[in-house]
Structure 1
Amino acid sequence: MSFIYNIGIHIARFGLKCASLFNEKIKKGVIGRQNTFKVLENRLNANDKTLWFHCASLGEYEQGLPVFKELRKQYKAHKIVLSFFSPSGYEIRKNSPIADVIVYLPLDSNSHAKRFVNTVNPELTIFVKYDIWPNFLNELKRRNLRAILISAAFRENQSYFKFYGAELRRALCSFEHIFTQNEVSKTLLQSINYNEVTVSGDTRFDRVFSQLELDNSLSFIENFKGNKLCLVAGSTWPEDENLLINYINSCDHNNVKFIIAPHNIKTLQINNIQEKLNTKSVLYSKKDETQLNNASVFIIDTIGILSKVYSYADIAYVGGAMGYTGLHNTLEPAVFAIPIIIGPNHEKFPEAKAMIDINGMFSVSNQKDFNTILNELIQNKEKRMSSGKNNGDYIRKNKGAVIQILDYLRI
């Protein structure tokens, strides 16, 4: 199996190089990985004490950030190496102050694993959620270097729990401890005789709860919103935007303002949204050139401010589940105790099911459903407030994973 896996890695390397000729995102990853060892060897020396944090992409980075921040405080004399596999994580967080060195993770070949671990020589390694790379993890174990996995979530149909998953099971056993999001994941690990498990919950709850401690004020949003109700639609895709545009074009704008933060902020997509709206809209990039309070729709054509924008919402819509791209982060708006509307394709997101069950979140399948629930939330203040409170309470009840992880690391 090890031989087959390593052959697969070399095939993947060739495939990525070919694909990079046609895909800009893949190209960034290929070029970035070519520079990884040069960056590491220039920034680290043999006497450095190090920690290594690995995240597949941006979502896992945000998930691990509360733990990373606390370890940054505790290990002030250490250099922290942060690695990403996906360009969508690296390109957005390549200047994060949480780490001293930020790189792409090389492909998981034996030679890369040995060179990477030899160069970094981490006193502690933390992987977040998944992205289990056997050669890297086995190399850490071979050198008796500590590694833990946090916020892990497993499903019965994954390779770890199949007859052909021996190599991945061996990689899991390289972790000295695994912190899972739920009991199901713990039970699955125990079924393959891995027992160093703690159900700590999801560190994302700690991450979003910390948003309440920040200054979330945005004067331009205050100017736009005024004293009206506000729907914030975050991380939307075209299928989400069609629902929103149809509703906006058919409704009375006297009492409600709309903020749309598209996932795709390329000019063509932003122009397409504006052209379909039959009411006045304003772009974030043009906010200083217009009278904000005269517009009904504010379009966020930038990244990095959605968490703060949600603090101004009375109702949120979170994109990704109307199609099949994957539901985006619903915990970000939930922490501000507001009701949330999503699409129907949310089966892989347990937090969505939980908030639906407590009547804090509402799943819609079509325009009629969307219009009905949105009108109800706009018109019925009691329902709007109680639904939002349910979401806020849900976040508070589920935070605390970070404390359990840090307590373990202090043992």
Structure 2
Amino acid sequence: MTPRPLSLGLKLRWQLFNLMSRIAERSHALTEAPPAPEAAKPSLWVFVSTIGELHATAPFLNALIELAAADGQEIVLLTDRDGYAESYRSLHPSAHVVRVTGSQFQAEALAATLRPTLFVIAEIPCWPSDAPCRLPFGFLYEAKRLGAGTALINGWLYGYPTSCRADAIERKLFQRDWLRLIDVVCAQNERVANTLRDAGANLVHITGNIKFDALETLPRAFENTRSPRLLQSIQSSGRPTVVAGCVTEADERDLVLAAFEPLAVAVPRALLVLAPRHPENPKVMQALGKRLNASGLPFVRRAEHGDQALDDDVKVLVLDTMGELRDFYALASIAHVGRDHNILEPLAYACPVSVRPGWNSTYPSFPVYEMTRDGGLLIESDDPTTLETLWQSLLTDSGRRKQQTDRMRSLLEHAQGATERTWSAMRSVFPITREHG
């Protein structure tokens, strides 16, 4: 593919925006980059905001990263969130993990050491400040200025308004340029694809959701996890286990605990694994600790407990680490997934799943929620008494897992295939010739 030159109008607008940014920042203090090697190395850049997007696009990204590494390229994983570096490196040990600071000049500094040949945006944002993450336009601009190919995979639109004046200016100046600088767009569905075409995107393919291809139906071996002793002790104990993942809001936390408190009386050996969405937030953890203390349920925090066997008298394990939820879902007797989050991971293990109603139709989790709900794979309740009754009945329903397995297999046969369609779209633009795994 021959790179398209940047237009004169875009160059002028970029110079103006750069001048305003320099005045606002007053220095390059926000610029971050890895230590400079002797010369810039050819690199694959991937913006993947959170561990959720990394897992959701893994079938494609893992193969692409392997291909780039085999060609002698460095791997750069960009994230705008604190706290994901350890999880990213555990999955891709040789990658440079770079936190996006918000500085418009960070991309220039990064490219001076790790020059992009291909820049991939994983799922979001499809244009400036659309999603709950921030990727400065400068990364796309710098990649195209240097002749890199650019792609958006598993694309999804949130429709968020901008959160500050600087983001509003960036979107006004560069939204159409953002889309035009992306060589190929792979969208999850027709609505997203049509919106991006109307907004100026060049080449748009409807590929489906790679998340359906990313499901692991078999648990990882304990020795390949970060908590082998802890996980093995829970499995060996045979305790009925409720795993509540991505519990974001205080009312959802209270719903889960209000349902579990009577369950712990009715089923004395029951264990709750509670994974808050933002364990890095001190206020979230303080509020959770206060609520647990009030409940009287003995609890431990995974970060403090470490990887050691769990005592039988512990009723609640607070999973306050990053990147481990999937391994605990694999042990769950029942899973509860926080509203608007990923329900496929526990369903893949044929685990009964409960959720609250009222999911946000703009979130990328919504089509999956809607499909699985309509397929009879979800239990919905916003009432703790009803939820506790359902949980208790599920613990004694031996036929439920087979029913879940059969329904899940049928759903997957219908929904899978996005990874291969994404490869086809990429090959239509880029000279990718090797076979992928």
Is it true that 1:152 corresponds to 2:155 in the alignment?
A: yes
Over 3 Å counting, the alpha-carbon distance change for 1:334 and 1:193 in structure 2 is same
Computed over aligned residues only, the root mean square deviation of the Cα atoms, in angstroms, reads 3.6
2:240 corresponds to 1:229: yes
Any unmatched runs of 5+ in structure 1?
18-29, 322-326
Q: 1:273 to 1:92 in 2, by over 3 A?
A: farther
Partner of 2:382: 365
Structure 2 counterpart SS, 1:49:
strand
Structure 1 stretch displaced more, 138-147 or 285-294: 285-294
Which residue pairs with 2:121 in the alignment? 127
Shift of 1:205: 2.8
For residues 42-53 of structure 1, the aligned pairs below 5 Å read: 42-43=36-37, 45-46=39-40, 48-53=41-46
Q: 2:373 aligns with which of 351, 356, 359?
A: 356
Letter in 1 for 2:240: L
1:232 aligned counterpart, secondary structure? strand
Q: Per-residue deviation at 1:112? A: 4.5
AA matched with 1:168:
Q
Q: More deviation in 91-100 or 60-69?
A: 91-100
Decide whether the 8 Å contact of 1:61 with 1:89 is kept in 2.
no
Partner residue, 1:261:
275
- TM value normalised by structure 1: 0.77
- SS of the equivalent of 2:45 reads strand
Q: Report matched runs for 1:75-224 at 5 Å.
A: 75=68, 76=70, 77-90=72-85, 92-93=87-88, 97-107=92-102, 109=104, 111-131=105-125, 132=127, 133-154=136-157, 167-209=174-216, 212=218, 214-216=220-222, 218=228, 220-224=230-234
- Say which of 282, 306, 309 aligns to 2:325: 306
- TM-score, normalised relative to structure 2: 0.73
Secondary structure of 1:406 counterpart: helix
Q: State which of 31, 34, 42 in structure 2 corresponds to 1:34.
A: 31
- For residues 245 and 106 of structure 1, the distance between their equivalents in structure 2, rounded to whole angstroms, comes to 37
SS of equivalent to 1:35: coil
**Cα distance change, pair 86–283 in 1 and its aligned pair in 2 (3 A):** closer
Could you tell me how far 1:119 is from its partner in structure 2? 4.0
* 1:26 equivalent in structure 2: none
Unpaired segments of 5 or more residues in structure 2? Answer: 1-9, 128-135, 163-170
Task: Choose which of 68, 82, 85 in structure 1 pairs with 2:61.
Answer: 68
Inter-CA distance 89–223: structure 2 relative to 1 (3 Å threshold) = closer
**Structure having greater relative contact order (Cα 8 Å, sep ≥ 6):** 2
**SS of 1:275's equivalent?**
helix
How far off its partner does 1:291 sit?
6.7
Aligned to 2:334: 315
Judged with a 3 Å threshold, the aligned counterparts in structure 2 of structure 1 residues 74 and 358 are, in CA distance, closer, same or farther, namely same
For residues 315-360 of structure 1, the C-alpha deviation after alignment (integer angstroms, 9 at most, x for no partner) is 10112x2xxxxx3332221211112112234222221122111111
* Identity across matched positions, percent: 19
Tell me whether 1:338 sits opposite 2:351 in the alignment.
Answer: yes
